[in-house]
Structure 1
Amino acid sequence: MRETRAADGAVLGVSVLAQERDEAARTHTSVWRYERRTGAGRTVEDRAWVVHWYTRAGFEELAGAAGLGAVSVSGPDGGPAGPGEGDLRFRLRAR
């Protein structure tokens, strides 16, 4: 758990409780616990965060449906993305 003290003296903490990766669904789910402790008591909130990743074609389809088009697509090294390369960065603009 990572902790810090807030300006009002409360102790704020965060920790990861669980992680699950589903390659078929293209999702990564993390459950995080947030805590706030004061002299008056403790508040705890657990939250699930879901990250979904897309194929290049799938992301371009989503962007197109939102009225956006790719200006450029870069790979992890910042250069133009090659076919099948992962971890892409898209520069988009309105159509």
Structure 2
Amino acid sequence: MDHQRFEKRKINVIIANHLNKQNVVWVPSGNDFVDLLHGFLTMPLGTIVRLLDNHGRSRQKLVIGCLNNLYKSLVDMSIDNFQTEACKQMLIYPESV
């Protein structure tokens, strides 16, 4: 895995929301925030489930509907259901491109 060094950066965001409806109305932002948000939105669901499996100091498992069960079923599935071990690993450990 290619290890990169990331610097800490602060992104200030102003969010205008509708008080009665609790909806976000407008978010003026720069490219940095849009790139960060896009990165979260394109993260594979398998990665999200795996990262949240043992979350935080309490190691409390966070459940995202049926995705946890779906991911566990994939992990527990026999290699006989895949063409190769690499195919199974690509589904268990997906990467964003």
Please state which structure has a larger fraction of its residues in strand.
1
Which is helix-richer, 1 or 2? Answer: 2
Answer yes or no: same fold by TM over 0.5.
no
Alignment TM class, shorter chain as reference: under 0.3
The one of the two structures with greater contact order (alpha-carbon pairs below 8 A, sep at least 6) is: 2
- Structure with higher Rg: it is 1
- Normalising by structure 2, report the TM-score: 0.20
